[in-house]
Structure 1
């Protein structure tokens, strides 16, 4: 398996880039400077050799010696003194037109002929610089012709320095340039490290790739929230809004970003929070006919307020969620069903009384009382938890209203205080399971009007709590069952179907089991089994 390559940090990227730039600059600068300094050095050296050669060509001692065509002690002493006083000049040669030397630093060479092959042009009366190998080695030379009083050339002067000296001078320049470049490189690396650290500190120690990842993850997290989030900068301009916020204010991202919050959300007044730096909680307003509850929080960078954040939620949705979580909606539905059923029965009694059938009315009331007593006694004897018992009675009444037979199996039993679940959790599970069963029977796909039945079984002992609800409704496919177990599916449309999600969360938190057995056209059986006992120090 190929090992994933670790990305280079921003610190090292900046250091590498800066070092490369410094090196390229140094190499280019050094090459240009070195060429310039070497050329300048050679020009200065050539100028010095030219000056000495010109001076000697005009010196009377040199002219007289060449006219005599014989070496003289006076010339030797004069030129030896010049060589002794100038360290950059190594060789001086004076020769006649045939090239025979009348002076040489090596006195044994006097009388011998000039060596190097670069003296032809000086015999033509030209002065110039050249490089050639003489008797003493490779030299940088300057030639100058010598003329007598009648302006007739009688010889020439050659002044030179050893090329080894020139090379030493070049090497010294190169070494000094390398030292300077090394110093500049060290300074450049130091500045690059300082710049990299400063940039990294400004990014709170994160790498650019990490920042992109964090921003992407945060955006996904914020967009997954049901609360609407709107953030503004210190100028009151909107800099962020998640999907829930855009939905609440009926806007698109491009319509509100960098716009004044006072223009887009005048009800929230986020600029006041920026100015005051104070939080405000549980405020309410109306935005686009939606009842909104919101909090306002200042955004701080250390002690300075740099912006503000509004956290908004639809109050209606909050009420619905609270009702789902507490089971209030189930009790309300049960009360409505009871109210509707008893109103129907009261209308029957009223009708009997109006037609004078008092005996029939008495019998009807007695029968109703007897039937209701049986149902209530059956439920309360088996279900000691009063809230759950009331819920079941309400669901039975609702079933009667919908022509659905709802029955509790006779071997059911639930103590007043369950060892496994709180009363709220019991109401949530039982209420949602029965409601879902009624929806399955009442859906448009279900056509079996003669077999509409819901069977409930609740039993608790020391080992576990079992809740099952069976219905003869439309049933579910295997795919639907799997999606429900994974908590990502609702058959009730957008904004509904939270019941199964709540059940699944309670079961998971209690380390229980949720089992679903269903077939299309036959019905569904859902069982909840809880084996982990809860902490009875909590609410019942």
Structure 2
């Protein structure tokens, strides 16, 4: 049954629920009204019977007739009064409950207990009038009984029993019930019609979607929101945050457990311009702004319901991320150039080897082949042993070939070991940082030493840190510049777009919770030492 119910459309469910609730309410109200009506009628008939019985018992003619035991007079009198009051019967008995008047003459002289077992004890013994419901010789009736008292001496000399047929009550109740049932039916019909209208408007308000579809859309929306690599924050017309994603928390430098929903946007981002968009309704795209002390690219879009602005959605990302994408594309281009140069280099060497063989210089050809194979085999063997991570190993192999193309040598310390890389360390950022350090070392060495220069690289993963040391044979860095070289735009190179590589290195190291140092070498050159902790430290942004 629950499964069948879930398969019903929302509109049908609402009609069924509202209809059942209305039917239940109508049934309860109708049942209570019917019960109250029946009890009220029974009580009214009983009180009427008791009133008539007291009236008859107080009549002088009845008192005198009982004293004389004048059954004929009492019978005629009781019949006349019964007809006048539309009573089923009026029975008069003496002090021993022996009938003196009865609609059926054959029952005169017999005990009143023959009808219902009630001898009228309360009336004859205690002088009390009372009401009783009983099934007698004339059918089911509501009876009122009162004592007949001789006013001359106050003695109880008889009893009067007045009865009204309950069939009359039943017919009256049925008439009332017919009206009640009609009203209940109209109420139920009105409730069903109201349920249909309400369900239709509700379904229209939720764009005709079913609850399951709404739940699925909400889950998809939440998953989509969290998967977006841009920070997203939405506010309502009151400037209160209603929606946000994890990227927004991370981009703003807030704590991972920070909850933004329900907070005014001014408390989280005092320097935001979302309220102006809420007022003007003008969207803004790709605006460069500073938020939380960071340069970001922000898009703002008003949310409208009809022609009314009900909120604003903002998406934002760090400007550095765009720069990083650009640099990664540039680096890919450099790798492609390196592969092309390597292909060209090997093509030249193959031609040289072929020429040596043709002129019969086989020993020289073998020596050239051996030298080439041994160098690469030694490097590959070292990388397989010391650097099992394929991304890092590929980066180092590419830089080795890049150094050879530049006429330099990248010497990797044979005692290096870098096998304990933490899984959460982003490999693309690691190779970007290390690649920047090696590229800078190669450029500095070529400018100062020319061909034949050597760049040394050593790595170790012992202890709690990953340590990379890159030594160049460049001109060195003046002491006054050693702290500034990690700032954006600061570089010792005059041509091209420089001053970014070391800045990105420092940014990554700070985010990861590591450090980078630079120290001079003798007689010339510099050593860059990169420390990356194996357990990252989350840094929080500063609210401005």
The structural deviation recorded for 1:34 is: 4.1
Counterpart position of 1:64: 64
Which of 87, 90, 96 is matched with 2:88 structurally?
90
Q: Partners of 1:4 and 1:18 in 2: how far apart?
A: 18
Maintained 8 Å contact 1:90/1:162: yes
The TM-score with structure 1 as length reference comes to 0.56
The structural deviation recorded for 1:242 is: 2.2
Is it true that 1:203 corresponds to 2:187 in the alignment?
Answer: no
Is it true that 1:493 corresponds to 2:428 in the alignment?
Answer: yes
The structural deviation recorded for 1:11 is: 4.5
Higher alpha-carbon deviation: 192-201 or 229-238: 192-201
Q: Partners of 1:64 and 1:260 in 2: how far apart?
A: 96
Is it true that 1:241 corresponds to 2:244 in the alignment?
Answer: yes
Q: Residue 81 and residue 281 in structure 1: after superposition, are their counterparts in 2 closer, same or farther (change >3 A)?
A: same
Counterpart position of 1:222: 225
Maintained 8 Å contact 1:396/1:407: no
Maintained 8 Å contact 1:229/1:312: yes
Q: 2:309 is paired with a residue of what secondary structure?
A: strand
Q: Residue 132 and residue 260 in structure 1: after superposition, are their counterparts in 2 closer, same or farther (change >3 A)?
A: closer
Higher alpha-carbon deviation: 156-165 or 93-102: 93-102
Q: Partners of 1:250 and 1:271 in 2: how far apart?
A: 22
Higher alpha-carbon deviation: 313-322 or 135-144: 313-322
The structural deviation recorded for 1:232 is: 2.0
Counterpart position of 2:144: 142
Is it true that 1:50 corresponds to 2:50 in the alignment?
Answer: yes
Q: 1:139 is paired with a residue of what secondary structure?
A: strand
**Pairs within 5 Å for 1:293-332:** 293-321=297-325, 329=331
Q: 1:312 is paired with a residue of what secondary structure?
A: strand
The structural deviation recorded for 1:398 is: 6.4
Q: Partners of 1:86 and 1:165 in 2: how far apart?
A: 13
Q: How many residues align?
A: 366
What is the CA deviation profile of residues 92-150 of structure 1, one whole-angstrom value per residue up to 9, with x for unaligned ones? Answer: 12233455544333456555654323124144344322233433223322222223343
Q: Residue 120 and residue 306 in structure 1: after superposition, are their counterparts in 2 closer, same or farther (change >3 A)?
A: closer
Q: Residue 147 and residue 272 in structure 1: after superposition, are their counterparts in 2 closer, same or farther (change >3 A)?
A: closer
Maintained 8 Å contact 1:396/1:405: no
Maintained 8 Å contact 1:298/1:307: yes
Which of 286, 292, 296 is matched with 1:292 structurally?
296
What is the CA deviation profile of residues 375-424 of structure 1, one whole-angstrom value per residue up to 9, with x for unaligned ones? Answer: xxxxxxxxxxxxxxxx76x6444678xxx7477999xxxxxxxxxxxxxx
Maintained 8 Å contact 1:71/1:102: yes
Q: Residue 405 and residue 180 in structure 1: after superposition, are their counterparts in 2 closer, same or farther (change >3 A)?
A: same
Q: 1:150 is paired with a residue of what secondary structure?
A: coil
The structural deviation recorded for 1:446 is: 7.3
Q: Partners of 2:42 and 2:349 in 1: how far apart?
A: 115
Task: Specify every segment of 5 or more residues in structure 2 that has no aligned partner in the other structure, as ranges.
Answer: 352-375, 388-396, 399-423, 433-544
Which of 131, 136, 144 is matched with 1:129 structurally?
131
What is the CA deviation profile of residues 348-371 of structure 1, one whole-angstrom value per residue up to 9, with x for unaligned ones? Answer: xxxxxxxxxxxxxxxxxxxxxxxx
Q: Partners of 1:218 and 1:82 in 2: how far apart?
A: 85
The TM-score with structure 2 as length reference comes to 0.56
Q: Residue 132 and residue 223 in structure 1: after superposition, are their counterparts in 2 closer, same or farther (change >3 A)?
A: closer
Q: Residue 495 and residue 176 in structure 1: after superposition, are their counterparts in 2 closer, same or farther (change >3 A)?
A: farther
Q: Partners of 2:279 and 2:247 in 1: how far apart?
A: 26
What is the CA deviation profile of residues 323-375 of structure 1, one whole-angstrom value per residue up to 9, with x for unaligned ones? Answer: 76xx76555x38xxxxxxxxxxxxxxxxxxxxxxxxxxxxxxxxxxxxxxxxx
Give the CA RMSD over aligned residues. 4.3
The structural deviation recorded for 1:160 is: 0.5
Task: Specify every segment of 5 or more residues in structure 1 that has no aligned partner in the other structure, as ranges.
Answer: 335-390, 411-436, 454-488, 498-540
Which of 284, 294, 299 is matched with 1:280 structurally?
284
Q: Partners of 1:21 and 1:5 in 2: how far apart?
A: 16
Q: Partners of 1:222 and 1:51 in 2: how far apart?
A: 82
Maintained 8 Å contact 1:395/1:406: no
Q: Residue 4 and residue 183 in structure 1: after superposition, are their counterparts in 2 closer, same or farther (change >3 A)?
A: closer
What is the CA deviation profile of residues 161-212 of structure 1, one whole-angstrom value per residue up to 9, with x for unaligned ones? Answer: 2233344445455555544444444444444444444444443433444333
**Pairs within 5 Å for 1:23-422:** 23-26=23-26, 28-72=28-72, 78-87=77-86, 89-97=87-95, 99-107=97-105, 109-110=107-108, 114=112, 115-116=114-115, 117-121=117-121, 122-124=123-125, 125-151=127-153, 152-172=155-175, 174-251=177-254, 252=256, 254-266=258-270, 268-287=272-291, 290-321=294-325, 329=331, 333=334, 395-397=339-341, 405=346
Counterpart position of 1:445: 384
Q: Partners of 1:52 and 1:257 in 2: how far apart?
A: 77
Counterpart position of 1:471: none
Q: Partners of 1:147 and 1:169 in 2: how far apart?
A: 35
